[in-house]
Chains A and B, each alone.
Chain A
Amino acid sequence: LQVMDSAPVENSLMSSESDIQRTQYPYVTGTSVVGIKYKDGILLAADMGGSYGSTIRYKSVERLKPVGKHSLLGASGEISDFQEIMKYLDELILYDNMWDDGNSFGPKEVHNYLTRVMYNRRNKFNPLWNSLVLGGVKNGQKYLGSVSMIGVHYEDNHVATGFGNHLARPILRDEWHENLSYEEGVKLLEKCMRVLLYRDRSAVNKLQIAKITEEGVTISQPYSLKTFWNFSAFQNPTVGAEGSW
């Protein structure tokens, strides 16, 4: 069983002693993830973009993945670190299943595990460069939480990462309420994702929405949102003030 520790710095031919202190930098990154609780469970949304600095290099990256039977993980930040987290989580769930004792990791446990991992890596100056959203349902109990790359974690009725915190959360604070139907939830998330598409440079117009209920996980096929540009104010915005923008 491998631990989710970083590649250890030992006295080996492949690493130099001076590597001890290291904070990396991200290369291929995903942008916001938004999550809400609704009547039957949790809804998560994320676009499928993988940015490489300012270039939108990949447009079919899956950033929402199931974890066991009861949880969904959405990630922003460095994609390679997210892929590594998924490898380790899948192995963790597998070993948990092999106990075959009727117990299984619920979303609260997975969230706590991820929090410990992220915080411990941060303490060693070698973080997993992600902000994660973890949602799930177990025994009728809905759970939605987030963890950042430094181990800051929250549990709430709606969470988001990155730009989503600034653009989506205010919308959710106004319009989220207990017992949203599936349709209302999806419409609300799409409202958030559309605003992110308008205002986040690293957003791409290809997204997935994932749902988790007591029954299980569904991740939608990729799709694109209509955008609206046909406002009279957009037609000739600099008339009367030539040279302005």
Chain B
Amino acid sequence: MYRLSLDVEQPHSMGTTIIGVTYNGGVVLGADSRTSTGMYVANRASDKITQLTDNVYVCRSGSAADSQVVSDYVRYFLHQHTIQLGQPATVKVAASLVRQLAYNNKAMLQTGMIVGGWDKYEGGKIYGVPLGGTLLEQPFAIGGSGSSYLYGFFDQAWREGMSQEEAEKLVVTAVSLAIARDGASGGVVRTVTINKDGVNRKFYPGDTLPLWHEEMDAVNSLLDIVPAASPEPMIS
């Protein structure tokens, strides 16, 4: 006999699946939307893709509080930097600031982030900042607990120089696959596409996502699928 433990005193954590992918012309950032406190889903429609500047966004994973505070500080610093510089900050500078906070506070923080954006010097760029504060520029990056299920998928599905449509489709498919297997990921899939023309947010509710192994089409009720008023007993 065990008791249902809700344990609402546990810190909010975004188990998460986060992805950042470069394509020919820009980047696509993607994430799930589940925030949990222990076993309870505190927010089923979170937005884990956070704006740092007009042209740079960050995907957050791990501790919700830590990642929020880091992105708040970086947004603040980047704002001042942009004023001083007189032009939009580069993706590299944004990532470098994220790394600095992550590295110098490595004993206290538990958040992995993916910084992505577009600037006129380097075009679309993705930087991974995992636990510890390593900074790695990558053609694509995955993070969060759900990413464990995606290493093989990306090894096989990733290609250099995809179009925007291909890149978005890859990201949505990947997040959706991770949600299917990772208990800490779920909800909707959000994507943010950034290129020279600006930023475009997209939203994919669960029913628009592909179905995977052992998943079934959703219905409103059993009554909608079983023939009405039938004397036939149900399968025993």
Contact = CB atoms under 8 A, between A and B. Distances in A.
B107 A27 contact: no
Contacts of A80: 99, 102-103, 106, 132-135
B148 interface: yes
Nearest to A28: B134
B104 A7 contact: yes
Contact of B105 (A14, A55, A60, A79): A14
Contacts of B133: 80
Interface in B136-160: 136, 138, 148, 151
B96 to A, nearest CB: 10
A210 B136 CA distance: 21
A233 to B, nearest CB: 31
Contact-residue bracket for chain B: 10 to 19
Contacts of B136: 50, 58, 61, 79
B107 A19 contact: yes
A27 B130 CA distance: 8
B106 to A, nearest CB: 6
Contacts of A52: 130
Nearest to A7: B104
Q: Which of B99, B108, B136 has the most CB of A within 10 A?
A: B136
Contacts of B104: 7
A28 B107 contact: no
By DSSP majority rule, is chain A's interface helix, strand, loop, or mixed?
mixed
Interface size class on chain A is 20 to 34
A22 interface: yes
A61 B128 CA distance: 12
A205 B134 CA distance: 22
Interface in A34-88: 50, 52, 55, 57-58, 60-61, 78-80, 83-84
B132 A57 contact: no
Contacts of A27: 130-132, 134
A76 to B, nearest CB: 14
A162 interface: no
B148 A55 contact: yes
A26 interface: yes
A58 B132 CA distance: 14
A227 interface: no
B132 A26 contact: yes
A80 B138 CA distance: 16
A61 B136 CA distance: 8
Interface in A1-15: 7, 14-15
Given A55-B148, A55-B151, A50 B134 contact: yes
B132 A79 contact: yes
A78 B132 contact: yes
Contacts of A28: 130-132, 134
Interface in B201-226: none
12 contacts: A19-B108, A27-B130, A27-B131, A27-B132, A55-B151, A57-B130, A57-B151, A78-B134, A79-B134, A79-B136, A80-B102, A80-B132
